Amino acid sequence: MRLIETKPVGDANFYKFSIDFVDDKFIIGGKTLPLGIITHDILNIPADKLLSVFKTGDKLNDLYNRLNAENYSDELFIKIRETILKIIKLIKKIKPFSYFCIKDEYNHVEELFADSKIEMWKRCFASMPIPNINFVPEGTAMYDNVIVLTEFIKSYIYLCSDTFNFYKVAMMYFVNLTENGFRDKVLLAGFTKEFFGSEQVLEWIEELNATEITHNFTLEPGVWMAPVVLKNKDGLTMLGRRIHFDRMLNFYVTDMFEGLAAGHYSWQCGICNKFFFMTTAHKQLYCSTVNPEYSVPCAYVAKNKLNMPKQKKKDGFGHDIWQKRYNSLRNEKSKTKNGLPSAKYDIDVCDKAIELAKRHYDDAQIYFDYAQNQYEQDMILVNLIAEAKSVLGKK
């Protein structure tokens, strides 16, 4: 590993991957995301899919044990291939796994388990006195291939078991966080120290995943880190850190605690009980996704329910940006109305821009990707004016 990494972005696949961290964000699969979002995504994996992932990973673990105990057979290698492909099918559209390059995963499966590759494995093992992976001579090309094979299989076992067990730990932590109402960094730090310092919690964590293959659940991730020089979208040079992971759990734990240190965390909605993501300590109480029962965001549901705490508009995502833009547009409208020399825009353009700003703010309450990646750009004054003119058919 170089003392200073200079590649544009870290690799992103399930087997030996690396992630670039810059300030309170990280880069994966060419996307820049806020710290803590991986933990948030895991909290929101549907329970039935999470259980299916865990059970399929458990099946793969059984096949791996057979691989260690039994002599080579085509049937065993084909079953391992089928099980890995089933895991990929289960996870490829689910966050956080969809951030990775799933196409590369299929390529790795092809390189190790294609029919032609299985024929090669068959010939190699047939030439051995004992055709078992544990008896491959060290220092040979076949030994190196077996190491790659076994590490690749284990990476999927880790993915399944680590995700399931991390989900249970993170769920217990963030449910307690919400119930206690802790929001700012000082309260987060104090609560986190108390929670993970509890003997009961530590004993429970130690019991998770207590098998030789998965090395137990640990809050002390083993990672390798190096400084990295990157360029942002504007071409400016940034200094960050590239962390190399060889297990999903290490990535999850790093994301969770670095996210908390940056003030990024998940909060449980008081209406639908799903988790929404916070990057500030504002007093948002309810998630911004549309509640399927009512067809409006949960914050709107709370407005019309008795005995429910009401969420103020100012506590929604991006309210400060909306307020600033609303004020500037009203000011522009006033200048035009009063015939001031500095007036630039027609009144109908200002009205339409105000309407569009409100629409963008509402969208930011509902759509996470839009809120994180496009909202601020759309709320720039010149962009709102240009959009308003386009809608009105003006130049």
What lies within 8 Å, CB to CB, of 279 at 6+ separation is 24, 34, 36, 263, 264
Task: List CB contacts of 378: < 8 A, sequence separation 6 or more.
Answer: 360, 384, 387
Residue 131 per-residue DSSP state: -
Q: Do 153 and 300 belong to one domain?
A: no
Structure tokens at 271: 């209406």
Are 186 and 259 within one domain?
yes
pLDDT in tens, the chain (395 residues): 456 656 655 566 676 788 888 888 888 877 888 999 999 999 999 989 999 999 999 999 999 999 999 999 999 999 999 999 999 999 998 999 988 888 888 999 999 999 999 999 999 999 999 999 999 999 899 999 999 999 899 989 989 988 998 898 899 999 988 888 877 778 888 888 888 888 887 777 777 655 544 555 555 556 677 777 777 767 778 788 888 887 888 889 899 999 988 888 888 888 888 888 887 756 677 777 777 777 777 777 776 664 555 556 666 677 888 889 989 999 988 888 888 888 888 899 999 999 999 888 877 766 666 776 788 889 999 899 999 999 888 87
Burial of 47 (0-12, 13-18, 19+ CB in 10 A): exposed
The three-class DSSP label of residue 266 is strand
Note down the domain range covering 302.
Answer: 282-310
Q: Are residues 176 and 67 in the same domain?
A: yes
> Sign (positive/negative) of CA torsion 47, 163, 176, 188?
negative
Q: Which of 310, 330, 348 is the last residue of a domain?
A: 310
Report how far residue 111's alpha carbon sits from residue 330's, in angstroms, rounded to the nearest whole number: 62
Number of folded domains that form the chain? 3
Q: Are residues 206 and 345 in the same domain?
A: no
- Tokens 């190399």 correspond to 244
Whether the predicted model's global pTM rises above the 0.75 cut: no
| 355 and 216 belong to one structural domain | no
Are 383 and 257 found together in one domain?
no
259-277 exposure pattern, b = at least 16 Cβ within 10 A, e = fewer: bbebbbbbbbbbbbeebbb
Same-domain check for residues 242 and 143: yes
How far apart are the C-alpha atoms of 310 and 303, rounded to whole Å? 6
User: Number of helices (H) and strands (E), helices first, in the chain?
Assistant: 15, 9
How many angstroms separate the CA atoms of 232 and 223, rounded? 25
How many angstroms separate the CA atoms of 279 and 24, rounded?
10
Separation CA 182–CA 188 (nearest Å): 6
What pLDDT was estimated at residue 1?
Answer: 42
Query: What CA–CA distance (Å, rounded) separates 344 from 211?
Result: 69
The residue with tokens 């990672």 is: 223
Q: In terms of domains, do 265 and 249 share one?
A: yes
- One domain, residues 235 and 377: no
CA 54 to chain centre: 18
Residues in the chain: 395
> Which residue in 62, 68, 66, 75 sits closest to 134, CA to CA?
68
Residues 328 and 304 in one domain: no
In this structure, the answer to whether residues 251 and 351 fall within a common structural domain is: no
Q: Confirm if 19 and 10 have CB atoms less than 8 A apart.
A: yes
* CA–CA gap between residue 202 and residue 342 (Å, rounded): 65
Q: Is 267 left (phi over 0), alpha (psi -120 to 50) or beta?
A: beta
CA distance 65 to 376: 52
CA–CA gap between residue 167 and residue 94 (Å, rounded): 14
CA–CA separation, 277 and 35 (whole Å) = 11
Residues near 293 by Cβ (< 8 Å), separated by ≥ 6?
none
* CA distances from residue 229 to 11, 22, 141, 380 in whole angstroms, order as listed: 15, 10, 35, 30
Same domain for 9 and 45? yes
Burial of residue 160, with CB atoms counted within 10 A of its CB: 0-12 exposed, 13-18 middle, 19 or more buried:
buried
Q: What does 88-110 look like in DSSP terms, one character per residue?
A: HHHHTTSTTGGGS-HHHHHHHHH
Give, for 27, the enclosing helix (H) or strand (E): strand 25-28
